[in-house]
Chains A and B, each alone.
Chain A
Amino acid sequence: METRPQTPRQDFWAGARDTVPLLVGVVPFGLVFGALALEAGLSPLEAQGLSLFVFAGSSQFVAVDLIARGAAPVVIILTILMVNLRHGLYSASLAPTFARLPLRARAAVAWLLTDEAYAVTVTRLRAGGLAHPRRYFLGSGLALWATWQLSTAGGILFGARIPESWSLDFVLPLTFLALLIPSLIDRPSWAAALAGGVLSLVLHDLPYGLGLVLATFFAVGLGVAVETLRPRREAAG
């Protein structure tokens, strides 16, 4: 295959394109979020404000639930922090790629750093040969940002209109699965994935999404341990 140099614009659109499967799964969540927030007593502006400023789906659902139950603001904010701590891991994981960018550009990357943009970008980075990682990331992140804002607004204006029987929410785990497969390249990555899956099930009932953070943390630790214990065999394949 002929290899041509990628322009920044091509990489931007490639990032957006590679995010499309996730967008299909995100739309119903945004619609449900908008509708649910109004039901919980938020004003349309407050509902959209959560999507605009927090921009992290699962924590927004938790926040709306706690607001409806009259929890203290400081409790809700701490809960949002717990649910979103995993973004610190993404930040650390992408930092080497973006380390040479000016501060302003890194601040923009951080603003768009979601589960989805991280997963898509880290998969593409691992495949290699990406000429403009920042443009690719921005393409993915902005596609997701626009979709989340518009679907939230749609839920606020029209309610959640997609029939549940379509099960479009299932596209999300399927896409994460499709992104997971190319990351399983050796024994440590298999160990990390298996441990992550099992531990997140075991810890699922912990409050505030803590289970996800702990499962990821210990799974990474186990993967590193596997790598440390069997480095030779790994090299031999």
Chain B
Amino acid sequence: MSAPDVWLVILGGMAVTYGSRLSFLILPERIRFPAVFQRGLRLVAPAVLAAVLVPQVLIPSGAASATWNPRVLPAALAGLVGWRTRNAWASIATGMITLWIIQAFLS
């Protein structure tokens, strides 16, 4: 692809991405949405967070074994610790350390 075309992609990509980000933020405050829409908004966070993280754990890129995935147990333990302690750092540390231990045994 020639250089001007790449910059066309960059600027066009910027326009559509910024447009998505700006979309609802620039609507005037007086525009009201249906109640159903309002109730749905608080559910965006749990829905999208789960939708992003589940494939990242279960379908890791690279050479993952089809029969055994070393990331499932660390993620499960991290979830358990996060649920019990409500501490993000403890949860993340549990997941990483568990994964490193598993990888140490595997290698």
**Which A residues fall within an 8 A CB radius of B?**
21, 41-43, 46, 49-50, 53-56, 59, 63, 67, 70, 73-74, 76-78, 80-81, 84-96, 98-100, 103, 106-107, 109-111, 113, 115, 118-119, 122-123, 126, 164-165, 167, 170-184, 188-190, 192-201, 204, 212, 215-216, 219-221, 223-224, 227
> Which residue of chain A has the shortest Cβ distance to B94 in the bound complex?
A174
B36 touches A224 (CB 8 A): yes
Using CB atoms, name the residue of chain B closest to A108.
B25
- B22 — nearest CB in chain A belongs to which residue? A110
A119-B22 CB under 8 A given contacts A21-B88, A204-B59: no
Q: Shortest distance in angstroms between B45's beta carbon and chain A's nearest beta carbon?
A: 5
User: Judging by beta carbons under 8 Å apart, are B1 and A93 in contact?
Assistant: no
Residues of A within 8 A of B62 (CB): 164
List of B residues within 8 angstroms of A119 by Cβ: 45, 49
Total A-B pairs, Cβ < 8 A: 256
Q: Decide yes or no: A171 and B96 within 8 Å by CB, A54-B13, A73-B8, A221-B40 being known contacts.
A: yes
List chain A residues, Cβ under 8 A from B103: 165, 167
Q: State which of B3, B15, B37 has its C-beta within 8 Å of the C-beta of A43.
A: B3
Inter-subunit contact A199/B51 (CB<8 Å):
yes
CB distance from B33 to the nearest CB of A (A): 8
Of A46, A78, A80, A224, which is within 8 A of B7 by CB? A46
> Contacts of A113 on B, CB cut-off 8 Å?
21, 25
**Given A80-B13, A173-B75, A177-B91, A89–B3 Cβ distance below 8 Å?**
no
Residue among A107, A110, A111 with max Cβ neighbours from chain B (10 Å): A110
Say whether B79 contacts A181, CB under 8 Å.
yes
Q: Is the interface of A mostly helix, strand, loop or mixed?
A: helix
> B residues bordering A, Cβ < 8 Å?
1, 3, 5-18, 20-27, 29, 36-37, 39-59, 62, 71, 74-75, 78-79, 82-83, 86, 88-89, 91-92, 95-96, 99-100, 103, 107
Q: Indicate if the CB atoms of B26 and A180 lie closer than 8 Å.
A: no
With beta carbons under 8 angstroms apart, the residue of A84, A182, A219 that contacts B20 is A84
**Residues of chain B lying within 8 A (CB to CB) of residue A115:** 48, 52
A216 with B47: CB separation less than 8 A: yes
> Do A195 and B47 touch (CB < 8 A)?
yes
A89, B48: Cβ atoms under 8 Å? yes
Give complex CA distance A173, B58 in Å. 10
Listed A/B pairs (24) with beta-carbon separation below 8 Å: A43-B6, A63-B9, A73-B8, A73-B12, A77-B15, A80-B9, A88-B23, A91-B22, A92-B24, A95-B25, A106-B22, A173-B53, A174-B74, A177-B49, A177-B78, A180-B53, A181-B83, A192-B47, A193-B47, A199-B51, A200-B50, A219-B51, A221-B40, A223-B40
Q: Are B16 and A178 in contact (CB under 8 A)?
A: no
Q: Given the complex, which residues of B lie within 8 Å of A49, measured CB to CB? A: 7, 10
Given the contacts A53-B10, A201-B58, A204-B55, A193 and B50 also touching, CB distance less than 8 Å: yes
Q: Tell whether, in the assembled complex, residue A53 and residue B22 are in contact, meaning their CB atoms are under 8 Å apart.
A: no
Bound CA span A146–B58, Å? 30
Q: Which residue on chain A has the smallest CB distance to residue B62?
A: A164
Closest B residue to A92 using CB positions:
B24
What is the distance, in angstroms, from A51's C-beta to the closest C-beta of chain B? 10
